[in-house]
Amino acid sequence: LDKFTSFTKLDFREYLSLNLMPNELSNLTSLIILNMQGCSSLISLSKELGNITSFIELDIRRLRWFLKKCLSFTSLPKELGNLTSLTTLRLRWYLKLALLPKELSKLISLIILDIRKCSSLTLLPIDLSNLLSLNTLNTKKCLSLILLPKELDNLTSLIGLNMSRFSSLISLQKELNLISLITYLL
């Protein structure tokens, strides 16, 4: 990968034996899209990803049919907060991911945050309210998520919210003014 520093898109989709990210990824300073969807053996994300500030899309979704292999992924590196150009972050099926790093609140360009089916996720960082560009938040089937922070009222660009299988919908309507901002519930 060292010879390909001008790559703008890298697709490792369904590379089943990839368990560690190549260290050379941090040398790809022009990379804007990284697709690692379905890399079922991936153990963790490299903190060096935070050095690729040109990123606009990071897709590390797990695929349902690989579930048995993707139970060990428990955290995200705080260095993801350095990706200030990132517009799309897709995480799915990370069954043991319990917390999102508060550093995600630095993703000031983020438009789409898709964390569906992260069934151990219990809380969203309060600082997510700093993501003023966020227009879509998908928390579908985050079965352990007990509430959304009141501070999400600050997300004035939010037009899509998916909270299906989120048991606190009634209390959410009482506590947040967010519902009046939503154009559609996904």
Residues 71-117: tens digit of each pLDDT? 456 778 899 899 999 999 988 777 788 888 899 999 999 999 998 88
The mean pLDDT of the chain is 78
Torsion of CA 121, 123, 124, 126, to 10 degrees: -160
Q: How confident is the model at residue 68 (pLDDT cuts 50, 70, 90)?
A: very low
User: Which strands make up the sheet holding 33-35, listed edge to edge?
Assistant: 9-11, 33-35, 57-59, 88-90, 112-114, 136-138, 160-162, 184-185
Q: Which of 50-59, 96-105, 124-133 has the lowest mean pLDDT?
A: 50-59
> Is a pLDDT exceeding 50 seen at residue 65?
no
Tokens of 64: 């349902």
- CATH 2.60.40.3080 is right for the domain spanning 9-185: no
pTM beyond 0.95: no
